[in-house]
């Protein structure tokens, strides 16, 4: 089982959700591109939150600047190429976490959604409630559908007004399952693993 964790934008909780799914599936973890925060990377957070026994596969690109990957790479004289990425070999489930949203540029010619298509694996789309999240969610779903990338899970991260949730779920494909994650302001290993044990993967009743 392989799944790519992406979001409808930045700061929607992809890493927390990745840690929970890593614990839930007892999976390995891979962050293909780490852009900035090399002193405390997302891989480091996963190990801290999901457990010391989690297998972390090395990033393909580790970039110094906390910016869009194409900018960070350019400042180091690099150009990110899709052909540089190879799925890690493992006999375990694998959770892969992207950077930002689907249209984050990796280079002048490639976006994050192109990397997902290149890897040819389904996604878990992380949503958080804010003004505009319906628009961003439906646009993300449309982009994934256009690229024929299946959405395995829709992750509702935090609480949502009923009217917002209803519209989002109404536009969610029937084959996509729903995962609800409670608000976690200060995640730690205990809260991540307790949440992973309580996950219910459900199908929306249309």
CATH code for the domain in which residue 104 is found = 3.40.50.300
Binding residues for substrate: 35
Binding residues: 11-16, 35, 42, 97-100
Q: Name, in order, each residue with C-beta under 8 angstroms of 100's C-beta and a sequence gap of 6 or more.
A: 7, 9, 10, 68, 112
Q: Name, in order, each residue with C-beta under 8 angstroms of 4's C-beta and a sequence gap of 6 or more.
A: 96, 97, 98, 116, 119, 121, 122, 123, 124
Q: Name, in order, each residue with C-beta under 8 angstroms of 154's C-beta and a sequence gap of 6 or more.
A: 124, 125, 127, 168, 169, 172, 176, 177, 178, 179
| Average pLDDT score over residue span 30-51 | 94
The domain in which residue 146 lies consists of: 2-203
pLDDT digits over 62-117, tens only? Answer: 999 989 999 999 999 999 999 999 999 999 999 999 998 999 999 999 999 999 99
pTM: 0.94
**206 pLDDT above the threshold of 80:** no
pLDDT digits over 160-177, tens only? Answer: 999 999 999 999 999 999
**37 pLDDT above the threshold of 60:** yes
Catalytic residue set: 31
**Which residues lie across from 57 on neighbouring strands?**
30
pLDDT digits over 120-152, tens only? Answer: 999 999 999 999 999 999 999 999 999 999 999
Give the chain's domain count: 1
């Amino acid at each position: 089982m392989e799944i790519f964790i992406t979001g409808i934008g930045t700061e929607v909780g992809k890493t927390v959700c990745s840690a929970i799914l890593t614990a839930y599936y007892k999976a390995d973890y891979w962050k293909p591109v780490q852009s900035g925060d090399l002193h405390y990377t997302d891989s480091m957070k996963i190990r801290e939150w999901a457990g010391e026994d989690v297998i972390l596969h090395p990033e393909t690109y580790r970039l110094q600047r906390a910016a869009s990957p194409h900018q960070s790479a350019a400042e180091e004289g690099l150009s990110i190429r899709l052909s540089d990425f190879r799925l890690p070999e493992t006999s375990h489930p694998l959770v892969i976490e992207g950077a930002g949203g689907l249209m984050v540029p990796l280079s002048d010619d490639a976006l994050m959604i192109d990397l997902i298509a290149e890897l040819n694996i389904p996604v878990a789309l992380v949503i958080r409630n804010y003004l505009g999240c319906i628009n961003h969610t439906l646009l993300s779903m449309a982009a994934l559908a256009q690229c024929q990338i299946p959405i395995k899970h829709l992750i509702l991260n935090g609480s949502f007004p009923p009217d917002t949730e209803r519209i989002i779920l109404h536009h969610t494909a029937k084959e996509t399952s729903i995962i609800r994650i409670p608000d976690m302001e200060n995640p730690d290993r205990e809260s991540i693993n307790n949440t992973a044990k309580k996950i219910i993967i459900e199908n929306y009743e249309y």
